[in-house]
Amino acid sequence: MTATDRRRSVVPPYLLRAVAAAAEHPRAASAARTALAEMSAVAAPKHEHRVRPQGVTGTVDRSPQRTIADAHGSTSLPGTVVRREGDPDSGDAATDEAYAGLGATHAFWLDVFGRVSIDGAGLPLDATVHYGQDYDNAYWDGQRMVFGDGDDEVFRRFTVALDVIGHELAHGVTQYTADLTYEGQSGALNESVSDVFGSLVAQHAAGQTADQASWLIGEGLFTDAVQGVALRSMRAPGTAYDDPVLGKDPQPATMADYVETTEDSGGVHLNSGIPNRAFFLAATAIGGYAWQGAGAVWWDALTAAETTAGIDFAGFARVTVDAAAGRFGAGSTQHAAVEDAWRTVGVLTAP
């Protein structure tokens, strides 16, 4: 298996297709067509489950061990190393934003869950910036983070959004834990878990409570030419953008609007809005710092033996409900909040 076989991109193909058809943004349209062609060329197996370390034994370096490389506009990886762990700022915005974002993500996992890097065993964090020409995406390829510079018509550079960095590295965490099959509902859960922990990375870095957070994914990526605030909204899926050129955010918020499709590995970026909203509802109902409440429950569920690679929404919902009871007590506020959240989005029915 090559690294690109596990590519997980933050911009969904349905949005790239809309950009690719935008005659009003010719530079962006060309960049989006290139990004779509590259995604289509990646023959990604849906699943290859492997046993992954869940704890650390012995002496492990708990520092991030970051290495940032520059592709200089090419698509050859990894590129030229331009900054290593402990080096001072390079003066290049993308390089330094990637370095800081990897550090903030590493700090989140270590401080909140005692997890040393994304594999739990001190895996070095590698990233490549300035990938491709006007490349309209960021992705995790199974080994490293890769960031495009955007096209400056629709998208800005992809290192500007900390939650995007957290999102992509969370794909690595999922790879090393439940390894959720990237198709259908388990694939939508894979994407949702990345949105959840990507948002929590940003909240943790900013010291925000659940009520203070924006719950937007990719906030700041759109240029001023786009009528929209982010790629996705966890608070209100389907409302992140509504642009006369790009169209309206198509994410459903409840199972009543679940999208049956063969595109995008069975709608993994579309239907992730449903578990995303469930997490938002649970987190805000519990209150306080979301990583201490709903985030802790989702982490327990992601690492639970009951969370199989092909688990569906209802199965994962039940695991989170059990996890909330196990962590906070059956009948607790947290337990009730998690169960009510899944009922509100139509995944669980009333008893």
Residue 167's CATH number: 3.10.170.10
Structural domain ending residue among the three candidates 175, 202, 223: 175
Confidence check: pLDDT of 187 > 60: yes
Q: How far is 59 from 121, CA to CA, in rounded Å?
A: 10
Confidence check: pLDDT of 60 > 80: no
Residue-level pLDDT at 41: 66
**What is the DSSP secondary structure assignment for residue 65, as one 8-state letter?**
-
Confidence check: pLDDT of 31 > 80: yes
Lowest mean pLDDT among 8-17, 93-102, 243-252, 303-312: 8-17
Nearest Cα neighbor of 155 from 216, 91, 221, 108 is 221
Residue-level pLDDT at 39: 78
Assess if residue 237 is contained within a domain: yes
Confidence check: pLDDT of 159 > 80: yes
Banded model confidence at residue 50, pLDDT cuts 50, 70, 90: very low
Residue-level pLDDT at 58: 52
Banded model confidence at residue 38, pLDDT cuts 50, 70, 90: confident
* Together in a domain, 103 and 131: yes
Residue-level pLDDT at 1: 32
Q: What sign results for the dihedral spanned by CA atoms 269, 179, 166, 287? A: positive
Structural domain ending residue among the three candidates 129, 153, 175: 175
Residue-level pLDDT at 5: 53
Q: What is the pTM of this model?
A: 0.93
Lowest mean pLDDT among 44-48, 76-80, 129-133: 44-48
User: Backbone dihedral region of 3: left (phi > 0), alpha (psi from -120 to 50 degrees) or beta?
Assistant: alpha
Residue type present at position 338: V
Lowest mean pLDDT among 24-28, 321-325, 334-338: 24-28
Element (H, E) at 36: helix 26-41
* Together in a domain, 108 and 191: no
* Backbone angles phi and psi of 238, in degrees to 5: 100, 0
Q: How many domains does the chain fold into?
A: 2
For tokens 């709608």, the residue is: 267
**Residues of the domain holding 157:** 3-46+63-175
Contact 161, 220 (CB under 8 A): yes
* Together in a domain, 193 and 131: no
Mean of the pLDDT values across residues 66-71?
98
* Together in a domain, 155 and 200: no
Nearest Cα neighbor of 19 from 137, 118, 191, 169 is 137
* Together in a domain, 208 and 304: yes
* Together in a domain, 83 and 227: no
Q: Which residues are catalytic?
A: 168, 269
Angle at the Cα of 134 from the Cα atoms of 128 and 140, rounded to 5 degrees: 35
